């Protein structure tokens, strides 16, 4: 039996479970593709309900972060606690302990991008966050690696499923904003306090990350125009339809003639021949306008246990593959 | 000045020019992303017209493959001659000389997949072919790496621009097959002898490659059902429309209950809520049905100088990045 690469999860909520499942359910497939055995050896979780859910064996749970930080066999830590603290402190502590770090925490990555990148460099570890933008869609990897022979002219995205669901229902089923929001909440696509989604805050966090990757420019989400969807009316949607357009909450960043990047998050009329116009309900999509490849369009699930978990797992695998070289 | 990674091109036709342009026009961006200086140091080309086209300096052209095979500074060779010979022999000779090999030659990769893979392993080099399927769309990298936390249930693709253009014109502009083919030929989307495209041979080659990557199963293009588009009529398109479907030439491979893979290339009615139905004209797209990420959809240009060249360049960059580690 060869070396087993051990990773730890901080938090065992929805995305934690999906990360665990992606690594365990697909262990044989991951081995076929990479030659590696990867194991979730520890999970930090306080809630009894999560510990007892039956997805992961109880004996790998701990309530003490030090069991993970001090375990020399653990090569990577996935932060899936959410929020600001203790998530940020745990990530920085894990890096200081020489562990590679993965997170889907878009708000934290967007707010403290330079700090986490600097810490990762200082401690010689990787800091990855594929799941932070577009859920299951491998947009970070596509920008940073698959399309690295390109320079990007523009990045346009629908990166918030809640608002896209609401706009789709308003457009296709003639619902009011309030009715559509209520249905989104009933289906679990919107929080009880939907502010971060409907005001475009979540989308702005993701745009900050997309811009940093595509253009190498860090622009905090507070430094560009942000308009949510609460002001979108049926009349707006009808006016757009008359022009053969759909209104979508678009994260947009484009290179200006002077080389600077102009960014905004706002409801935007998208012509129906742009593939973003056809992205319906809770789906996410990103259109990358490249100087050589021309337009590359990616669509998929922006949220959900297994979809987001698979993006977390892809980062963990990438780290183990590098270590194995 | 640091090390310069030198690569060579065999052939300087359309894709050769695009490969050269991607590496030179985007040199600064490639350096920003990877830290590397990559240079096309040699080009094998016999045609005076290509040598004199002004895109690459004349002094790097050669008419002798040995100038490339015997140059110890060249780390990778891009085969862009097309056809069977001398392309295949040159690729195998380059591998034997310790050079990594990149090609967009789908017919050759599909016909002799195992042989090239074995040669690459024997000589300890990489064999990459991102540009062989979907042109600019990074589908090979997405299957092999970005989605490596997934097992694939199904791969469905529109991977031939010629046939998609013809079907789109028949559907949207009420053209006959013959009229649409003529227009495709006039626009440069179809060859004067369109057999390989319209009979689904090109699509079948690409499906063989997609299956090998997604399922780890090599099935030659002669071993599955293949039906072209010459029999598609306006009546078929109308009947599909009545069911809210589009007819597309679909490369399909799916995992059966017994674990085997069933593959086919044939005109297929695609429901309009499948994003493949919205892929128009000469565009290509691939839908990857994953066991964790769910559906991931990729769309872009399947052909053309710079789009295909950028996929070739991405493989060359990947090789240099590995060498630099």
In order along its 325 residues, chain B shows pLDDT tens digits of 579 999 999 999 999 999 999 999 999 999 999 999 999 999 999 999 999 999 999 999 999 999 999 999 999 999 999 999 999 999 999 999 999 999 999 999 999 999 999 999 999 999 999 999 999 999 999 999 999 999 999 999 999 999 999 999 999 999 999 999 999 999 999 999 999 999 999 999 999 999 999 999 999 999 999 999 999 999 999 999 999 999 999 999 999 999 999 999 999 999 999 999 999 999 999 999 999 999 999 999 999 999 999 999 999 999 999 999 9
Q: What are phi and psi of A78, to 5 degrees?
A: -105, 115
Check CB contact under 8 Å for B149 and A304.
Answer: no
Question: Smallest CA–CA separation between B300 and chain A, in Å?
Answer: 5
CA distance B102 to B79: 6
Active site residue A206: yes
**A282 in the Ramachandran plot: left (φ > 0), alpha (ψ -120 to 50) or beta?**
alpha
Nearest to A313 among B149, B299, B313 (CB): B149
Give the containing element (helix H, strand E) for B43. strand B37-44
Before B86, cis peptide (omega within 30)? yes
Coarse DSSP helix, strand, coil percentages of chain A, rounded to the nearest 5 percent: 45, 25, 30
Check CB contact under 8 Å for A292 and B306.
Answer: yes
CA distance B282 to B293: 28
pLDDT above 60: residue A25: yes
Q: What is the DSSP letter of A142?
A: I
Looking at beta carbons, which residues of chain A come within 8 Å of B148?
Answer: 30, 33-34, 314, 317
Looking at beta carbons, which residues of chain A come within 8 Å of B23?
Answer: 149
Looking at beta carbons, which residues of chain A come within 8 Å of B136?
Answer: 290, 292-294, 296
Looking at beta carbons, which residues of chain A come within 8 Å of B32?
Answer: 216
Check CB contact under 8 Å for A307 and B301.
Answer: no
Tokens representing A301 are: 């699930």
pTM of the predicted structure, to 2 decimals: 0.98
Residue B324, CA distances (Å) to A91, A147, A229, B19, B200 in order? 28, 19, 47, 21, 40
Contact B319, B76 (CB under 8 A): yes
Q: What is the DSSP letter of A278?
A: G
Q: Which residues pair with A250 in a beta bridge?
A: A266
Q: What are phi and psi of B191, to 5 degrees?
A: -75, 165
Contact B159, B206 (CB under 8 A): yes
Name the closest residue on chain B to residue A300, using Cα atoms: B296
Q: Which residues contact A36 (CB under 8 A, 6 or more apart)?
A: A5, A30, A317, A320, A321, A324
Model pLDDT, residue A220: 98
* Percent residues over pLDDT 90 in chain A: 99
Nearest to B34 among A148, A295, A301 (CB): A148
CA dihedral B249, B254, B257, B262 (to 10 degrees): 70
Name the closest residue on chain B to residue A304, using Cα atoms: B293
Tokens representing B182 are: 């003529």
CB pairs under 8 A between A and B: 167
Q: What is the DSSP letter of B52?
A: T
What is the rounded average pLDDT of the residues A200-204?
Answer: 98
């Amino acid at each position: 039996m060869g070396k087993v690469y051990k990773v730890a999860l901080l938090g065992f909520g929805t995305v934690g479970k999906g990360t665990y499942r992606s690594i365990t359910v697909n262990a044989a497939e991951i081995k076929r593709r990479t030659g590696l055995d990867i194991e979730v050896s520890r999970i930090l979780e306080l809630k009894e309900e999560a510990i007892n859910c039956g997805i992961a064996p109880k004996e790998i749970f701990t309530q003490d972060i030090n069991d993970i930080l001090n375990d020399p066999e653990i090569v990577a830590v996935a932060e899936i606690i959410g929020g600001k603290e203790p998530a940020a402190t745990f990530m920085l502590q894990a890096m200081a302990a020489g562990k590679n770090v993965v997170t889907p925490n878009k708000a934290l990555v967007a707010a403290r991008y330079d700090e986490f990148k600097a810490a990762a460099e200082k401690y010689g570890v990787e800091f990855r966050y594929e799941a932070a933008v577009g859920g299951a869609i491998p947009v970070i990897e596509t920008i940073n690696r698959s399309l690295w022979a390109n320079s990007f002219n523009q990045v346009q995205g629908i990166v918030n499923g809640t608002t896209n669901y609401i706009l789709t229902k308003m457009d296709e089923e003639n619902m009011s904003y309030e009715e559509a929001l209520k249905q989104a909440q009933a289906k679990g696509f919107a929080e009880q306090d939907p502010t971060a989604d409907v005001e475009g805050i979540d989308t702005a966090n993701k745009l900050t990350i997309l811009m940093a990757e595509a253009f190498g420019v860090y622009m905090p989400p507070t430094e560009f125009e942000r308009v949510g969807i609460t002001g979108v009316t049926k009349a707006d949607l009808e006016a757009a339809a008359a022009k053969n357009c759909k209104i979508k909450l678009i994260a947009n960043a484009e290179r200006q003639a002077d080389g600077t990047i102009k960014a905004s998050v706002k409801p935007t009329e998208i012509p129906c021949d742009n593939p973003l116009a056809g992205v319906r309900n809770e789906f996410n999509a990103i259109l990358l306008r490249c100087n050589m490849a021309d337009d590359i369009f990616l669509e998929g699930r922006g949220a959900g246990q297994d979809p987001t978990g698979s993006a977390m797992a892809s980062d963990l695998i990438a780290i183990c593959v590098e270590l194995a070289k």
